[in-house]
Amino acid sequence: AQTVTQSQPEMSVQEAETVTLSCTYDTSESDYYLFWYKQPPSRQMILVIRQEAYKQQNATENRFSVNFQKAAKSFSLKISDSQLGDAAMYFCAYHQNRDDKIIFGKGTRLHILP
């Protein structure tokens, strides 16, 4: 069964600095999607960034980028120029083709230090 592992339950970063959140996954599929979701305190879960496994180029969305290493089954999220509004729980997720479910990691709580 597919699994998603986030090894950092909590992280802190100084405002304006860069932080990288780690994620590894296990799968036997060759074609799949990976996501990073953000859940701010008491607010709605939103999609931050998406990566298609067949694309070698790493996805970027403004200050958010990923380092996708398919062979290593690694999918880390880099946040540049961290802002106070980036404080949230971040969930790494894998789209499972066989039953169209998304498998979520346990999350990393990110604190931004002013």
Partner 1 sequence: EADIYQTPRYLVIGTGKKITLECSQTMGHDKMYWYQQDPGMELHLIHYSYGVNSTEKGDLSSESTVSRIRTEHFPLTLESARPSHTSQYLCASSGRQEPSYEQYFGPGTRLTVT
Q: Which residues bind partner 1 (CB under 8 A)?
A: 33, 35, 37, 43-47, 50, 52, 89, 91, 95, 100-102, 104-107, 109
Say how many C-beta atoms besides its own lie within 10 A of residue 72's C-beta.
9
Question: Of 16 and 46, which has the nearer Cβ to partner 1?
Answer: 46
- In the complex, least distance from residue 47 CB atom to partner 1, rounded to whole angstroms: 5
Contact by Cβ (8 Å): 110, 21: yes
Backbone φ and ψ for 63, nearest 5 degrees, come out as -80, -5
Residues 6+ apart with CB under 8 A from 108: 6, 8, 9, 10, 11, 21, 22, 89, 90
Question: Of 73 and 89, which has the nearer Cβ to partner 1?
Answer: 89
- In the complex, least distance from residue 107 CB atom to partner 1, rounded to whole angstroms: 6
Question: Of 77 and 107, which has the nearer Cβ to partner 1?
Answer: 107
Question: Of 18 and 111, which has the nearer Cβ to partner 1?
Answer: 111
